[in-house]
Amino acid sequence: MRHLKIINGRIITPYRVLHNATLLVSAGRIAAISQGDIDAPEAFVIDAAGDYVAPGFIDIHVHGGGDHDFMDGTEEAFHAIAAIHARHGTTSMTPTTLSCEPVDLLATLETYERICGQKSPGATFLGMHLEGPYFAMNQRGAQDPRYIRNPDVAEYRMLTTRFPSIRRWSAAPELPGALDFADWLRSKNILPAWAHTDALYNEILVAFERGYTHATHLYSAMQGVTRKGAARYAGAIEAAFLIDEMTVEIIADGIHLPPPLLQLVCKLKGPGRTALITDAMRGAGMPPGESILGGRHNGLAVIIEDGVAKLPDGSAFAGSVATADRLVRNMIQLAGQPLCDAVRMMTSTPAAIMGVGDRKGSLIPGMDADIVLFDDQISIRCTIVEGNVVYTKEKEHDAQR
């Protein structure tokens, strides 16, 4: 299909919503956007019938879905996760690992390198995100304590040299060697993100100056204001708010953070510095019940109930089962944010954080044709990745008949 034309849409551009508008796709890129019709007689036409036409959703922290986890290390898992999240509007994602056996990490990274040139049945990949293992034991959450350790120079130099697909790495910046680690990542053009940390305000300030410019799942596995004796100290959360240039991401499943905290983050950081993430594990898109966090053969047993994954004793959440459409809907319906701001937090902001804002995350001529159509309830009707329709609701209904 060379040309694709979407008509009768409410097109969300970076600046406004165009009603009854037309968008033309040519050779995988956005060719034109117009308030009226665009003359393209040979184009395949999709009638949006008044639905929103938005940039495709970008999930920069996701572990799995559809009963697969990237830590399974198989091509099947990568393709299945890309497909299930595309049904919920995601057009690109950053596959995320966990603290694990080095051999399992290698398997996942090698699989990524292998599938990179292949055609994806859904979302495309923006490079790997390593979550751990350089974390504060005290703030490990659902990360497996057997693998948590301080930064290991030989290990991270080997991994980042061997696997250029690593684009982001989450670590606790107060650990011995963690600042040198950030210097190394920056020299490789990899985003250092701070996470699972005991750092207080001052340590985050120093870390920011050394390159830790992004907060991984704000509020989860980190401290706010703490008291030692009579004195009170500002925590990592306050640092994220006070440092204007710090970007943050939030698990907006409506469970990890209650609506007032979603609102607070939007109020203090704004939609240009806040990304929505699913942090989804394999249970996304699956019914409630027993599941596994991490690789299928040696992950942690968890339970999915009440729309979230939990440790079996209920002591901590163990990742979400959210999808991107649910995050956008929550920001509108639970947190009272304007639709365009909610969309921005799921599109151009995460694109900018991952350094791909020049080609993804906005509907502007010349950008990749990553597009999603949805109604007022953010129910996804069609997902287009680089000009290819990878999901349509109508087709699914036809198949079910």
By CB under 5 A, name the binding residues for Zn ion. Answer: 131, 279
Question: Minimal distance in Å, beta carbon 345 to Zn ion?
Answer: 18
Identity of the residue, 51 or 279, whose beta carbon is nearer to Zn ion in the bound complex: 279
**Token duo for residue 67:** 């009963």
User: At a CB cut-off of 8 Å and minimum separation 6, what does 385 contact?
Assistant: 56, 86, 91, 92, 120, 122, 123, 124, 370
Rounded CA gap, 157 and 155, in Å? 6
Identity of the residue, 279 or 368, whose beta carbon is nearer to Zn ion in the bound complex: 279
Identity of the residue, 40 or 309, whose beta carbon is nearer to Zn ion in the bound complex: 309
Question: Minimal distance in Å, beta carbon 12 to Zn ion?
Answer: 28
Which single residue brings its beta carbon nearest to Zn ion? 279
Rounded CA gap, 285 and 287, in Å? 7
Identity of the residue, 89 or 95, whose beta carbon is nearer to Zn ion in the bound complex: 95
Identity of the residue, 104 or 279, whose beta carbon is nearer to Zn ion in the bound complex: 279
Identity of the residue, 70 or 181, whose beta carbon is nearer to Zn ion in the bound complex: 70
Q: In the 8-state DSSP scheme, what is residue 56?
A: P
User: At a CB cut-off of 8 Å and minimum separation 6, what does 264 contact?
Assistant: none
Of 10, 89, 11, residue with least CA distance to 57: 89
Q: Regarding beta strands 44-47 and 380-385, do their DSSP bridges make them parallel or antiparallel, or are they unpaired? A: unpaired
Question: Minimal distance in Å, beta carbon 15 to Zn ion?
Answer: 33
Identity of the residue, 131 or 203, whose beta carbon is nearer to Zn ion in the bound complex: 131
**Token duo for residue 56:** 């495709």
CA 167 and chain centroid, separation: 13
Is residue 213 within 8 Å of residue 181, measured between CB atoms?
no
Question: Minimal distance in Å, beta carbon 120 to Zn ion?
Answer: 21
Question: Minimal distance in Å, beta carbon 18 to Zn ion?
Answer: 36
Question: Minimal distance in Å, beta carbon 300 to Zn ion?
Answer: 13
Question: Minimal distance in Å, beta carbon 65 to Zn ion?
Answer: 13
Identity of the residue, 293 or 342, whose beta carbon is nearer to Zn ion in the bound complex: 293
Rounded CA gap, 221 and 218, in Å? 8
Give the relative orientation of helices 75-86 and 102-115 as an angle to the nearest 10 degrees.
Answer: 70
Q: Regarding beta strands 166-171 and 44-47, do their DSSP bridges make them parallel or antiparallel, or are they unpaired? A: unpaired
Question: Minimal distance in Å, beta carbon 69 to Zn ion?
Answer: 11
Is residue 64 within 8 Å of residue 70, measured between CB atoms?
yes
